[in-house]
Amino acid sequence: MSGLLRYSRNFTGALHRQVRWYASPVSPAGVDDAVDKLKTETNRLSQIAKKFWDQVSVGENVQNGKLVIQLDKKPVRTPLGNHLAVDKDRKILARLLQKEWSNISHGSVKTHALPLTSLIARCIDLEAANAEGAHPDLKVKIGGNRNELSNSLLRYLDTDTILVFSPRDELEGKLRAAQDDMYLPIIGSVEKFLSQHSDKPISLQILDADLHGLRGNAQKPETLAAARKFLDSLSAWDLAIFEKTVLTTKSFICGILLLQNKASTDPAKGLQYTMEDIARAATLETIHQTERWGEVEDTHDVDKRDIRRNVHAAAIAAYKA
């Protein structure tokens, strides 16, 4: 009887684990979002549109030595109920998270206002859901099944921005020249990089508008296999960052570039790029088209900032000293 009671309590506990508003999963996979109807501090914030805390601080967890972001001494929690905490040697990241929360001046906060918090929360939750012995429900809740994540991310390699070339007669060939200049070296280095995960040399399928016209692009099975191996080699934390980068830049290759430059101290040869380069590579066509036709207000300017803030947030989260 007591066993049954305990079981039912566990069950309701799992049901009551709340998904909070600021870290809605970015995964395109179907995610059950009926869970965020519960009364929690963060849901309260989005509903009553009023700041309900005075002090934002960074505290230290005595047990694991992590730095925890706190609102009035209570830890901020991620969608799965984990503490929003970072390693002790990442003081500046903790500081930035604290800043994000203390700079909220009004209650009606939207998800877009806390990009770093939502990314770090995703990292923490993905790690927790994929830890050994974690409840399988957790993965479903945040769309954290690594196999499904890989599947959806691999689709971005087929139609990667970096692999699509515009016709030579467009914009007097300026755009094509810039693409050749920027993309070709990246493609060469990424092919070499992916070959490490395969026994055959990898060649990426590009889509040249002059040769192939208007059609979709698809990679060869061995390329996809190598890319999948690369994804499997990533830690859960890095995978969350990779996901964010790919969804922002619409480019699998940009994800590789970002992780190579930030998550490893020794980026592979030919893959050294700054974050601005990555953002530029992802929006090269937009840059050239707006140069010719002009910017549309509330579209190009907002997108430009959006991509850059997300790429830089991912870079900050990925950084390993």
Which residues of the chain form contacts with another protein (CB under 8 A)? 49, 92, 95-96, 99, 102-106, 108, 110, 112-113, 115-116, 262, 265, 274-276, 297-298, 301-302, 305-306, 308-309, 312-313, 315-316, 319, 321
- Rank residues 61 and 103 by Cβ distance to another protein and give the closer one: 103
| CB of 84 vs another protein, minimal distance in Å | 18
For residues 263 and 249, give the distance between their C-alpha atoms in angstroms, rounded to a whole number: 18
- Nearest approach in angstroms of CB 143 to another protein is 25
Q: Is 239 exposed, middle or buried (0-12, 13-18, 19+ CB in 10 A)?
A: buried
CA-CA distances (angstroms) from residue 321 to 54, 60, 111, 152, 264? 33, 21, 29, 30, 8
Rounded distance between C-alpha atoms, residue 318 and residue 120, angstroms: 10
> What is the closest distance, in whole angstroms, from the C-beta atom of residue 243 to another protein in the complex?
18
**Residue 224: CB minimum distance to another protein, A:** 31
Structural contact between residues 93 and 86, judged by C-beta atoms closer than 8 angstroms:
yes
Considering the complex, state which of residue 82 and residue 290 has its C-beta at the smaller distance from another protein: 290
Based on CB atoms, which residue is closest to another protein, 155 or 309? 309
For residue 265, the minimal CB distance to another protein (Å) is: 7
C-beta closer to another protein: residue 122 or 139: 122
Measured from the Cβ of residue 171, the count of other Cβ atoms closer than 10 Å reads 18
CB nearer to another protein: pick between 60 and 180: 60
The pair of structure tokens assigned to 60 is 């230290």
Q: Are 224 and 156 in contact (CB under 8 A)?
A: no
Q: Would you say 43 or 102 has its CB closer to another protein?
A: 102
CB 159 within 8 A of CB 169: no
Strand-pairing partners, residue 77, are 83
CA gap 135, 65 in Å, rounded: 25
CB of 314 to another protein, least distance (A): 9
Q: Which one, 104 or 140, has the nearer CB to another protein? A: 104
Query: 119 is written with which tokens?
Result: 């990314």
- If the CB atoms of residues 66 and 309 are measured against another protein, the closer one turns out to be 309
Let me know if 222 is exposed, middle or buried by CB neighbors in 10 A (0-12, 13-18, 19+). Answer: middle
Q: Minimum distance from CB of 49 to another protein (Å)?
A: 8
Shortest separation between residue 107's beta carbon and another protein, angstroms: 9
Beta strands at 74-75 and 85-86: parallel, antiparallel or unpaired: unpaired
* Closest-CA residue to 42 (of 105, 101, 119, 125): 101
Residue type, position 236, single letter:
A
